[in-house]
Amino acid sequence: MASASSHHASDEAIAAFVARVLAGEHRAGARTMRLVDDRHPLAIELLRRLHPHTGGAQVIGITGNPGSGKSTLTDRLVAHYRKAGHKVGVVAIDPSSPFSGGAILGDRIRMNDHALDPGVFIRSVATRGHLGGLSRSANDIVLVLDAMGFDPILIETVGVGQDEVEVVRIAHTSVVVSVPGLGDDIQAIKAGLLEIADVFVVNKADRDGVERTVADIRALQTLAAAPDGSWIPPIVRTVAVQDVGVSELAQAIARHRASIPPDAAAARERRRVAHILESLVKDRLLDVMAEALAADGGRDALLDRLAARETDPYTECERILRGILPQHGQEEA
């Protein structure tokens, strides 16, 4: 929590700032995102005011295994959409260390080709420590980019863990990138991603084994229902480093968006907003928990007692919960 005084920006000042964000001003957008990152009290008010101006942008999730060349593909998609005259937002989810909070990504350096282009806004989201918040951060950034007029907005995740799957839940279209020649584990991952994939990409399609990979995906598809009724996720072959297949991918994405029946689109929108709301509530509850744990004066002594097994985490958890949730204690009694 920041100081209370900083909360009290005048209504006129806030309105003027919001107008700058809505006008697509990069500095105002970046400042909003920083306030969100810092959990500044003003952030919620800004997001609340931007919200009615959003919903227009198509959000495209790009996920898949490490080493599949997602970053290059994202880079080429950005170039494709720029050529077609779109302002493009990119949210890049970094697999940063849970401890240091930082990772060195060659990928991001490559994306800097677009850094001087005002029609592109790239924002990296680091995982914010072990209390989560990745989904919520991504949601908020997408909202700001949408309000700024960026459309489409690409969310690129590195990795295929639960966190990454969560993040692409807010996408209108999810692209799952595979690559020929990875091991057995990959099949398991694909099964996990199958139900979120609207479009499959087999990147590095000039490599041996591409037919096998395509066949594997087709086999997996027969195991699961298509996510949106009649839509059968197409498999697009790309060689991103040579810009091969990128416009075909963009077409498949556009076709997906256009071909969802209104009912399925409405159901998907409800799932999206439900996910956004839950991410927000979850994040706030974890803030409350972090505050409660930090405020626990006996924390060091408690950890000593836990380490010595003089008490157990289940008992201590109940004690902490009773402090946070008054009704919790009553339920127990």
| Nearer of residues 154 and 194 to its own copies, judged by Cβ | 194
Instruction: Sketch the per residue contact string, 1 through 40, with its own copies: x for CB under 8 A, - otherwise.
Output: ----------------------------------------
Q: Does 289 engage in binding with its own copies (CB under 8 A)? A: yes
Q: Does 254 engage in binding with its own copies (CB under 8 A)? A: no
Q: Restricting to residues 218-237, name those near its own copies by CB under 8 A.
A: 223-224
Distance between CA 238 and CA 285 in Å, rounded? 42
Which residue in 90, 145, 186, 260 binds its own copies (CB under 8 A)? 186
Q: Residue 106: CA atoms inside 13 Å, Cβ hemisphere, count? A: 4
Sheet arrangement for strand 173-178: 120-126, 88-94, 153-157, 59-64, 173-178, 199-202, 235-237
| Nearer of residues 26 and 319 to its own copies, judged by Cβ | 319
The amino acid at residue 115 is A
Which residue in 32, 96, 137, 174 binds its own copies (CB under 8 A)? 96
Q: Tokens for 173? A: 């279209």
> What is the DSSP pairing of strand 173-178 with strand 153-157?
unpaired
Q: Does 94 engage in binding with its own copies (CB under 8 A)? A: yes
| Nearer of residues 102 and 261 to its own copies, judged by Cβ | 102
Distance between CA 142 and CA 163 in Å, rounded? 16
CB neighbourhood size of 315 (10 A): 9
| Nearer of residues 55 and 118 to its own copies, judged by Cβ | 55
Question: H or E segment at 107?
Answer: helix 106-111
Omega cis (within 30) before 152: yes
Q: Does 44 engage in binding with its own copies (CB under 8 A)? A: yes
Q: Which stretch binds its own copies (CB under 8 A): 9-17, 76-84, 251-259, 297-305?
A: 297-305
Q: Restricting to residues 53-82, name those near its own copies by CB under 8 A.
A: 54-55, 65-71
Q: Restricting to residues 114-173, name those near its own copies by CB under 8 A.
A: 127, 130-132, 134, 158-166, 169
Number of residues that bind its own copies (CB under 8 A): 97
Question: Do 157 and 63 contact (CB within 8 A), yes or no?
Answer: yes
| Nearer of residues 13 and 303 to its own copies, judged by Cβ | 303
Q: Does 104 engage in binding with its own copies (CB under 8 A)? A: yes
Q: In whole angstroms, how close is the CB of 103 to its own copies at the nearest point?
A: 4
Question: Do 120 and 90 contact (CB within 8 A), yes or no?
Answer: yes
Which residue in 95, 119, 149, 209 binds its own copies (CB under 8 A)? 95
- Rg (C-alpha) for the chain, rounded Å, is 22
| Among 138, 141, 143, residue whose Cα is nearest residue 49 | 143
